[in-house]
């Protein structure tokens, strides 16, 4: 009984590492306005730093997944942890060097890519037999997405509080992450490998870059149109909305950005466990419900920016957080149902690469500021979101949602 209990809880040793990798990817967010105020970076530079880590994230998602299918989850995630640790060192030391900050963000993104593809697959496998014989088909998706969301959210909380009140606000958040990441690395060394040698891919890593399940009609017609809005919504909530009402915040801009980040990701974390229930009670329509909520949230974000209302922006962050939480789990459940054992990590990586492409949205909107104000550009974003919701919803209506 003790042995089984230990095996059942083994996913927690991986979850700690995934949590810290997510922390390292998002704890930069509350510092955006701090870099603008203290280091005099332009808004486009600050938002570029926010989005730069997609340059490490997408290669991490797409390259590390097939490597883990070939060599196992453990050695590949250890590489991701190393990248995240180096990233925190560079970010702590390079506040006055834009290039160093960019490189640090790229490495942080690489670590998040490892967490989202390899870490999610490892948690999913440790949430299945023989490690956890009582888990259902959606347990792995819930555990991995909740771990990531908590890492994104709590990392932002810690950084925001340190940035607002601690000495050396551009250094202390990264030092805290560094210490905790080293602890997670030690725990990860003791984690059980979940992918047996007999189940590993025999292809070379570049041959394994092909993900056959990505051609599945559900992935192409349902997941592809909806996935980019997952982190597109998060980016709008805690990067664009604080900037759009910044003139009303005064010295509290960093704390306000932290609160919006926490509200967005905290709400997302709370609703994630409800997704299987939503699927059961809506006939498999959780993803469609999430996209509808996403569209309404985008419309209200444009209104909040036009009204210059910090209070309305807080309410919109909650709505976008709920949409984020529903969509990320509902999409991941479908992805895990579509994937084969040989390309689970690969398809998960493609899914999260699509999802994280939406995180470039704040950079695009900030770059367009000389031509389009935030209210105008957010109105166009809301229209695009509505069109994607219709396309994805129609395709989803033609087939039963996996995992229901």
Q: Does 262 score more than 80 pLDDT?
A: yes
Task: Single out the residue of 66, 54, 112, 72 nearest to residue 88, CA to CA.
Answer: 112
Task: Single out the residue of 32, 27, 54, 50 nearest to residue 242, CA to CA.
Answer: 32
What do you get for the CA distance between the two ends of the chain, in Å? 31
pLDDT at position 202 = 66
Reported CATH class of domain 7-188+212-396: mainly alpha
Domain boundaries in the chain? 7-188+212-396
> Are 7 and 130 in contact, with CB atoms under 8 Å apart?
yes
Q: How confident is the model at residue 389 (pLDDT cuts 50, 70, 90)?
A: very high
Helix axes 310-338, 139-165, angle to 10 degrees: 150
Q: Residues 181-238: pLDDT tens digits?
A: 999 999 999 888 887 777 776 666 666 667 777 888 889 889 999 999 998 998 899 8
Higher pLDDT, residue 171 or 82: 82
> Are 303 and 372 in contact, with CB atoms under 8 Å apart?
no
Looking at every residue in the chain, the average pLDDT score rounds to 84
């Amino acid at each position: 009984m003790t042995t089984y209990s230990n095996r059942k809880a083994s996913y927690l040793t991986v979850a700690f590492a995934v949590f810290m990798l997510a922390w390292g990817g998002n704890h930069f967010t509350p510092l955006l306005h701090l870099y603008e105020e203290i280091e005099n970076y332009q808004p486009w530079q600050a938002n570029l730093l926010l989005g730069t880590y997609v340059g490490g994230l997408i290669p991490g998602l797409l390259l590390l997944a097939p490597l883990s299918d070939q060599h196992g989850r453990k050695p590949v995630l250890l590489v991701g942890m190393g990248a995240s640790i180096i990233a925190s060192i560079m970010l702590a030391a390079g506040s006055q060097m834009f290039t160093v900050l960019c490189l640090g963000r790229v490495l942080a993104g690489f670590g998040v890519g490892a967490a989202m593809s390899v870490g999610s697959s490892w948690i999913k496998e440790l949430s299945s037999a023989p490690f956890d014989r009582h888990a259902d088909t959606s347990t792995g998706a819930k555990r991995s997405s909740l771990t990531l969301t908590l890492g994104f959210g709590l990392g932002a909380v810690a950084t925001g509080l340190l940035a607002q009140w601690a000495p050396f606000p551009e250094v202390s958040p990264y030092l805290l992450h560094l210490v905790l990441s080293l602890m997670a690395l030690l725990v990860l060394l003791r984690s059980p490998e979940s992918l047996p040698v007999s189940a590993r891919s025999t292809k070379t890593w570049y041959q394994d870059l092909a993900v056959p399940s990505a051609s599945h009609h559900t992935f192409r017609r349902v997941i592809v149109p909806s996935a980019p809005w997952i982190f597109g919504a998060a980016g709008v909530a805690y990067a664009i909305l604080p900037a759009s009402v910044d003139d009303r915040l005064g010295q509290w801009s960093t704390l306000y950005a932290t609160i919006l980040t926490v509200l967005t990701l905290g709400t997302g974390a709370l609703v994630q466990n409800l997704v299987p229930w939503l699927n059961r009670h809506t006939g498999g329509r959780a993803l469609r419900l999430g996209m509808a909520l996403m569209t309404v949230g985008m419309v209200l974000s444009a209104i909040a920016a036009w009204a210059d209302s910090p209070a309305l922006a807080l309410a919109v962050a909650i709505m976008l957080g709920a949409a984020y939480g529903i969509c990320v789990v509902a999409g991941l459940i479908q992805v895990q149902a579509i994937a084969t054992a040989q390309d689970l990590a690969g398809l998960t990586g493609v899914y999260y690469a699509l999802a994280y492409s939406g995180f470039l949205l704040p950079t695009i909107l900030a770059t367009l500021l000389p031509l389009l104000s935030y209210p105008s550009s957010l109105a166009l974003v809301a229209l695009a979101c509505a069109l994607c919701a219709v396309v994805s919803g129609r395709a989803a209506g033609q087939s039963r949602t996996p995992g229901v």
